[in-house]
Chains A and B, each alone.
Chain A
Amino acid sequence: MKPICLPATLDSLDEIGKYVVAATTEAGLDTKAAYGMRLAVDEIATNIITHGYEEAGRSGEINLSGVLSDSSLTMVLEDTGIPFDPRSQAAPDEDDLCLPLEERSIGGLGIFLVLKGVDDFSYEYAEGRNRNILVAKRQSVANS
C-alpha cells in the first residue's frame, strides 16, 4: 500500500484508522484480527502524538505504511519525535485487571491493548527516527 504522511495531531487518528481498515480489508483479516490491528495502530499513534511530540513541545509528522506478504500484514509507524519505546510503560498484570475501577491506575492500558491486538510488536530507534512495527498473521497462515 502507498504510505501516508500525516500531521502528528490527534485529528489525524481518523485518517490513520481509515488507512488501517483499508489495509486489513486488503489482507483479508478476520474481524477480530482486523480490529486488533486498528486498535494497536491507534494506540501507538496516540503515544507518538502525545508523548513523542506534544509533551515534548515538538511538532512533526507520522509516516504510516502497510506491507502485505503471503503470510502477514505489517504496519510500520515512523516519526521524528523524542525517542519513545512504548514497551517502557508497564502493562497491567492479571491482578491489576481484577481491581475495581476506582482503584485502577490509568497507565499502561494502551500498550496492553497493542500487545493483545497483534501477533508481533517491535520498536527500534535509528537515525533520529522511532519505528513501531506491528504484525498480524493472515488467516490462512494463522490457521495452519
Chain B
Amino acid sequence: MKVQLWDNKDFLAGLLMIGIGAIAFFMALDYPFGSALRMGPGYFPRVLAGILIVFGVYVGWRGLRAAEQVEGVWGWKALAFITVSLWVFGWLMDRVGLIPSLVVLFFVSALAGHEFKIKEVIILATVMILFAWAVFIYGLGLPYRLFWWD
C-alpha cells in the first residue's frame, strides 16, 4: 500500500524538526555568535538549531525510504475545543472573574467529547466549580474575584 506524504509519520516528523530548526536558526542570527572562548548569546541556539535540522533531514529521509503511516485518526476536533477552552479561560480570567470563566471552560471543553449532554455538563460544571471555589479560593486563598462585579 502506498503511503501518502501527508500521512507519512517519519516524513512529517522530519519536516517538523527542519521547520522548527530553521525558524530557530534564523531568529538566532540576530544574536551575536561570539567565539568558543567567549560565547555570545547566539552560539548555543545556532548550534542546536543546526543539529535539529540534521536530525530532521535524517528522519525525513528515512520516512521517504520506509514509509510508515500515522497510526489511528487525528483528533483535530478534540484538540481544537480543548485548546480554545484554555485560551478563552485565560482571556476571561483577566476580565470577568473565576466563576464565569470556569463555566465557559466546562462548556467549551466538554464539546471535545463524543457525547455532549447539556444536563450532565450543567451538573458537572456546578459541582466542579463549587469544588474549585473550596480548594482554590477558600482553601488556598488565591486572590481571584468570583464575578466581574466583585
| A and B associate in one complex | no
B residues contacting A by CB (< 8 A) are none
A residues contacting B by CB (< 8 A) are none
